């Protein structure tokens, strides 16, 4: 199945949602020098579209437009801003099918999973539309008898966001919706792999009545766009979701202008199965926390710690379930795992498996590229993994579940926390005392569930 621009357009009920120009100050525009770059379907390698290769100059104009627009936007009442956001939410829900089709084409996730993300992404807009009316202040006691201290919360100003490719809609609305609800304006730079979803969201925001300049999407060179966002004093806050090294670099670049920062960085989430766990429930949870989006989420489980007495039983049940995962093009019926995003992602998965096998681990199922195509990888389970292997310390970001064996509770907690990463942890137990104890000692944990 080949996904070209014409094929993608034919799948859409509203072809005008497939935008291939950037959205700046309420207008669709190309790069100043007319350069473009290709957006490819990871399932087939075929080019879907060409989009502008913008740089710092175009980004600067978007920032300046945001500054002008923000004055009028913040002057609206909370109810007025909320009404516009609610229209944006309604348009997303009404166009779920088309938005999911665009996402699946450029990112590769199965269509059903993409539809789920659109609903999830829209929910942020709905939530913050309501929260816009609940930005309350405070009246505080004053040390002076004839005075009162009044605290009001004001919009910080122009905001910028750099978003990842693994959730190309939800990571945008999660950042843009609260900014707009608070009275701020926002410029978004989406990942180069998935700009079409961002541009479709901009089209719907335009239809919803978001004023020109309040929300812009610039696409192109990440270094020059990021450099302008971090160095421009007009930008008062930067939000970034992505790798820890890039987050560290952005933090450094923001320091001279002392910007407010929100960073969501890499993860290496542990998943602990204790000897009193419901193994069937643990297997179900493990599948959800590991293999959604082909393992390409920052809160995906990266390390499975299973207690001795249930290790073999869990490994058998889990391996059988993983072997049933259907891999293929996201537009094919029944597919639950699509391709990885690019060749580098596949090579990293291969390297982690090779390292483990070289040090004594063995593959229980999968372990190689899938016949569906060069960026597809078999859902994999690796047995006998130890702390000396790369799985223990590096984020794999792929459909591989490494199994570690442990004896005592304290051993599992120590191993789970032996990482520089944060974000998420999971465990299964039916002992309420253990549940409270482990949750307190694991910086972040979900018991018997996955995060929304």
> Cβ-count burial of 309 within 10 angstroms (0-12 exposed, 13-18 middle, 19+ buried)?
exposed
How remote is the C-alpha of 72 from its chain's centroid?
31
5 catalytic residue (yes or no) = no
Contacts of 441 (CB under 8 A, 6+ apart): 413, 417
Number of other residues whose CB lies within 10 A of the CB of residue 387: 11
Cβ(197)–Cβ(98) under 8 Å? no
* Strand pairing report for 269-273 and 301-307: parallel
Number of other residues whose CB lies within 10 A of the CB of residue 111: 21
Query: Which two three-digit tokens encode residue 220?
Result: 């192109």
Q: How far apart, in whole angstroms, are the C-alpha atoms of residue 450 and residue 301?
A: 10
Query: Which two three-digit tokens encode residue 284?
Result: 């179900």
Q: How far apart, in whole angstroms, are the C-alpha atoms of residue 376 and residue 44?
A: 10
Q: How far apart, in whole angstroms, are the C-alpha atoms of residue 186 and residue 177?
A: 9
φ, ψ of residue 365 in degrees (nearest 5): -155, 150
Q: Which of 58, 106, 264, 378 is catalytic?
A: 264
Q: How far apart, in whole angstroms, are the C-alpha atoms of residue 173 and residue 133?
A: 18
Residue among 46, 357, 360 at smallest CA distance from 368: 357
Whole-number Cα distances in Å, 114 to 121, 163, 201, 210 = 10, 17, 14, 25
Cβ(210)–Cβ(68) under 8 Å? no
3-class state of residue 366 by DSSP: coil
The residues that are catalytic are 264
């Amino acid at each position: 199945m080949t996904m070209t621009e014409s094929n993608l357009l034919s799948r859409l009920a509203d072809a005008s949602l497939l935008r291939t120009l950037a959205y700046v100050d309420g207008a669709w525009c190309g790069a100043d020098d007319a350069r473009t770059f290709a957006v490819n379907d990871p399932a087939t390698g075929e080019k879907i579209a060409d989009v502008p290769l913008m740089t710092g100059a175009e980004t600067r104009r978007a920032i300046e437009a945001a500054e002008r627009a923000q004055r009028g936007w913040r002057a609206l009442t909370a109810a007025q801003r909320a009404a516009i956001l609610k229209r944006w939410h309604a348009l997303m829900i009404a166009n779920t099918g088309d938005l999911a089709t665009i996402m699946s084409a450029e990112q590769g996730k199965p269509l059903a999973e993409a539809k789920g993300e659109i609903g999830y992404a829209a929910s942020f807009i709905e939530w913050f539309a309501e929260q816009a009316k609940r930005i309350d202040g405070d009246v505080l006691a004053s040390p002076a008898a004839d005075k009162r201290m009044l605290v009001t919360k004001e919009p910080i100003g122009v905001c910028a966001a750099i978003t990842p490719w693994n959730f190309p809609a939800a990571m945008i609305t999660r950042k843009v919706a609260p900014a707009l609800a608070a009275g701020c304006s926002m410029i978004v730079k989406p990942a180069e792999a998935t700009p079409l979803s961002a541009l479709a969201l901009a089209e719907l925001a335009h239809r919803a009545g978001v004023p020109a300049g309040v929300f812009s999407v610039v696409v192109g060179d990440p270094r020059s766009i990021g450099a302008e966002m971090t160095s421009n004093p007009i930008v008062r806050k930067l939000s970034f979701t992505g790798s820890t090294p890039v987050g560290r670099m952005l933090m450094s670049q923001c320091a001279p202008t002392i910007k407010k920062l929100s960073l969501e960085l890499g993860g290496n989430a542990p998943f602990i199965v204790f000897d009193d766990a419901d193994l069937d429930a643990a297997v179900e949870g493990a599948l959800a926390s590991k293999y959604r989006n082909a393992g390409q989420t920052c809160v995906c489980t990266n390390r499975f710690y299973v207690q001795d007495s249930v290790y073999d039983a869990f490994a058998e049940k889990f391996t059988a379930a993983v072997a049933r995962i259907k891999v293929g093009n996201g537009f094919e019926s029944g597919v639950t795992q699509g391709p990885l995003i690019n060749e580098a992602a596949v090579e990293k998965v291969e390297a982690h498996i090779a390292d483990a096998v070289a040090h004594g681990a063995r593959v229980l199922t999968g372990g190689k590229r899938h016949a569906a195509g060069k960026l597809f990888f078999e859902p994999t389970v690796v047995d006998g993994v130890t702390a000396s292997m790369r799985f223990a310390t590096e984020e794999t970001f792929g459909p591989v579940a490494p199994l570690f064996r442990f004896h005592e509770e304290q051993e599992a907690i120590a191993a789970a926390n032996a990482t520089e990463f944060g974000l998420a942890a999971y465990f299964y137990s039916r002992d309420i005392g253990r549940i409270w104890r482990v949750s307190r000692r694991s910086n972040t944990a979900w018991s018997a569930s996955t995060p929304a």
